[in-house]
């Protein structure tokens, strides 16, 4: 192999790695007000039973990560006027077609819970979950 072709090979490999990184950037948080964030929260809200004592529920998001059509969120539900607060919840969602579907909802989690969740849904990217 000629020594001139080594730098070209290195550049070609680097270009492929950069392209792969751009195509699959990893987990990200959709910004407040974005269409994607609204769709995820609306799907979660549809699964949440609002007590008769409040008209609207607001989710204060403490964690939301999305990757390859999977989302993990952690929210603190409260009434829209802030007078009532409810237990924090977490949820796993998957994008199906044009919408999001809630696969799991839970209050409180442990490392074991995440291990079992990963076993049940092996396609879930680990980087959507909060750090241990």
Provide the CATH number for the domain around residue 68. 3.10.450
Q: What element of type H or E holds 20? A: helix 5-23
**Residue with the larger pLDDT of the pair 75 and 25:** 75
- pTM recorded for the entire structure: 0.75
Q: Is residue 11 part of a domain?
A: no
The residues near 99 (Cβ < 8 Å, ≥ 6 apart) are 39, 43
Instruction: Give the model's pLDDT for residue 123.
Output: 95
Distance of alpha carbon 110 from alpha carbon 3, whole angstroms: 54
Q: Is residue 100 part of a domain?
A: yes
Q: Is residue 17 part of a domain?
A: no
Q: Is residue 115 part of a domain?
A: yes
Domain count of the fold of the chain? 1
Q: Is residue 10 part of a domain?
A: no
Q: Is residue 38 part of a domain?
A: yes
**DSSP reduced 3-state for 120:** helix
Phi-psi category of residue 97: left, alpha or beta, with phi > 0 → left and psi -120 to 50 → alpha: left
In this predicted model, what pLDDT tens digit does every residue of 31-63 receive, in sequence order? 999 999 999 999 998 888 766 766 788 899 999
DSSP 68: T
Instruction: Write out the residue range of the structural domain in which residue 90 sits.
Output: 27-128
Instruction: Give the model's pLDDT for residue 130.
Output: 87
């Amino acid at each position: 192999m000629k020594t001139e072709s080594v730098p070209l090979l290195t550049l070609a490999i680097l270009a492929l790695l950069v392209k792969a990184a751009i195509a699959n950037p990893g987990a990200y948080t959709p910004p407040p007000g974005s269409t994607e964030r609204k769709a995820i929260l609306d799907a979660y809200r549809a699964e949440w039973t609002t007590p008769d004592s409040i008209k609207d529920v607001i989710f204060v998001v403490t964690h939301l990560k999305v990757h390859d059509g999977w989302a993990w969120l952690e929210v603190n539900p409260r009434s829209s006027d802030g007078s009532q607060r409810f237990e924090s919840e977490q949820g796993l969602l998957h994008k199906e077609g044009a919408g999001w579907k809630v696969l799991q909802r839970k209050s409180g989690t442990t490392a074991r819970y995440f291990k079992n969740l990963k076993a049940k849904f092996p396609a879930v990217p680990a980087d959507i979950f909060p750090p241990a």
